[in-house]
Structure 1
Amino acid sequence: MAEVQAIKKLDTINLISHLLEIRYSKQMADIWNIGLNLALRISDLLSIKFSDLQQDRLVIQETKTGKLANIKLNAKVIKAIEDIQVNHHDHIYLFQSYRNPQAKYSKPKPLTRRAVTKAFRIVGEELKVALGTHSMRKTRGYHLYQKTKDIGRVMKMLRHGSEGVTLRYIGIEQEDVDNDFINLEI
């Protein structure tokens, strides 16, 4: 599996959302937009049920780590979730599979990781960026770090145990460190 990266430019983040919607579906763009704001792994993001949402919070147990993720939802996520609920009031999953004709007669399931991975990869190829499902999580971490320069906060948000892992994860490279030395004159 190829290494994916954080998307560092806000214009590119918005363009990815737009391309996912016009090339695939509103649902695929919602995965990108909500995923950016929740910073969850794709398996956890796709498995969100409406019952996991408690007013303005999402509470789930992460599949990979077993850690509890208790996330306060921002206004953008709340609005997107409300829109999904209005349009799909009978769904159990936030990102429920419903386009496949067989889905109508089978037990409700979320979209597959494979479908999301394919859509992200193709849009990434179009934009010439290494885009994958983990890009949402990495992008959120990168932008929080750029805003706060507080690696501890980023670690806590991503539920990481090591600063080194988090810095590599969000794509902080020597060039970024060099720019910090140039731009901060004391």
Structure 2
Amino acid sequence: MNFVQPIRDPELIREIKRFLREDSERNYMLFVTGINSGLRISDILQLRVSDAKKPYFNIIEQKTQKKKRIEMTPGLRKEFKDYIERREDHEFLFKSREGVNKPITRSMAYKILRRAADQVDLDDIGTHTLRKTFGYHFYKQYKNVAILQKIFNHSDPKVTLGYIGIDQDEMDRAMKGFKI
């Protein structure tokens, strides 16, 4: 399994959004949902239209089987408003073109993200990049590792900081300034 990084540069996020919006509304919304919710891809792919009508996601995590309630950001709620307008409550938000009402697969989500990353020459990208990108920018904005640790259901703040790449940033900064 490859180690993936968050997308640290806001301009790269904007470029990916632009590319995905032109490519496919579904793919754009998949990306926007991931970077604005901190949910794992396995949980995002199970979301239905009815889930996007509330101001929060109320889910049972696929990985942990724990109940989780995540407030939707105002920006994400606004994006969903148009996206779900003509859709039925029972439909998956990120429907596959295969079958009647099935979500895209995890591997298809990976291909979507990989294609977008290739457009902006970005490496170390995977489906977990969405969750890590959310965490990285949440931490940079609020500097509150305790809340982020709860959102991610991590056991220790050090795990959370390592997970979102803050440790890597600090190591990179230290190495750039190191002299003998």
TM-score, normalized by length of structure 2?
Answer: 0.85
Q: d(CA) in 1 for partners of 2:169 and 2:73?
A: 32
Q: 1:84 to 1:175 in 2, by over 3 A?
A: closer
CA contact (8 A) 2:117 2:125 kept: yes
Q: 2:107 aligns with which of 93, 109, 114?
A: 114
The aligned counterpart of 1:183 is none
Q: 1:54 to 1:121 in 2, by over 3 A?
A: closer
Q: d(CA) in 1 for partners of 2:104 and 2:16?
A: 19
The aligned counterpart of 1:82 is 81
Q: d(CA) in 2 for partners of 1:175 and 1:110?
A: 35
Which AA in structure 1 matches 2:9?
Answer: K
Count of residue correspondences: 173
CA contact (8 A) 2:162 2:168 kept: no
TM-score, normalized by length of structure 1?
Answer: 0.83
The aligned counterpart of 1:184 is none
Q: Deviations over 1:121-157 (max 9, x none)?
A: 1222332322221111101111111122221121112
Deviation of 1:48 after TM superposition, in Å, equals 0.6
Q: 1:150 to 1:178 in 2, by over 3 A?
A: farther
Q: d(CA) in 2 for partners of 1:55 and 1:7?
A: 28
CA contact (8 A) 1:81 1:94 kept: no
The aligned counterpart of 1:132 is 126
For 1:1-186, list aligned pairs within 5 A. Answer: 1-22=1-22, 24-53=23-52, 55-89=54-88, 92-97=91-96, 99-100=97-98, 103=99, 106=100, 108-129=101-122, 130-173=124-167, 175-176=169-170
CA contact (8 A) 2:34 2:130 kept: yes
Deviation of 1:17 after TM superposition, in Å, equals 1.3
Q: Deviations over 1:53-111 (max 9, x none)?
A: 563121000010112120111222112222122143475211122x34xx3xx3x1111
Deviation of 1:20 after TM superposition, in Å, equals 2.1
Q: d(CA) in 2 for partners of 1:174 and 1:113?
A: 27
Could you tell me which runs of 5 or more consecutive residues in structure 1 were left unpaired when the two chains were aligned: 181-186
CA contact (8 A) 2:50 2:89 kept: no
Could you tell me which runs of 5 or more consecutive residues in structure 2 were left unpaired when the two chains were aligned: 175-180
CA RMSD between the two structures? 2.2
